[in-house]
């Protein structure tokens, strides 16, 4: 059984709403699957996997939120 992520509010309290947790966990699973596909495609095309990993890290670090944090 995989360990579930603990999602937190800006104040540090754990998110407890089951529906919110379900959506967050599903989004994370989709993100991981897409990132895995990208890594495998890059490997098959002969790319440097560490460079691909760095590109993904940078892409995530540069994401912005369109909505204010409540």
Distance CA 16, CA 62 (A): 28
17 alpha carbon, distance to own chain's centre: 20
The token pair at 7 is: 């999602």
Distance CA 35, CA 49 (A): 12
pLDDT exceeds 70 at position 15: yes
The reported pLDDT for the residue numbered 2 is: 58
Question: How does residue 70 score in pLDDT terms, banded at 50, 70 and 90?
Answer: low
16-58: pLDDT as tens digits: 999 999 999 999 999 999 999 999 999 999 999 999 999 999 9
Domain range annotation of the chain = 30-61
């Amino acid at each position: 059984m995989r360990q579930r992520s603990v999602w937190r509010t800006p104040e540090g309290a754990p998110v407890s709403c089951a529906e919110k947790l379900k959506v967050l966990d599903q989004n994370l699973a989709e993100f991981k699957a897409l990132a895995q596909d990208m890594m495998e495609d890059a490997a098959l095309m002969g790319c440097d996997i560490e460079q691909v990993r760095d590109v993904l890290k940078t892409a995530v670090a540069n994401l912005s939120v369109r909505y204010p944090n409540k």
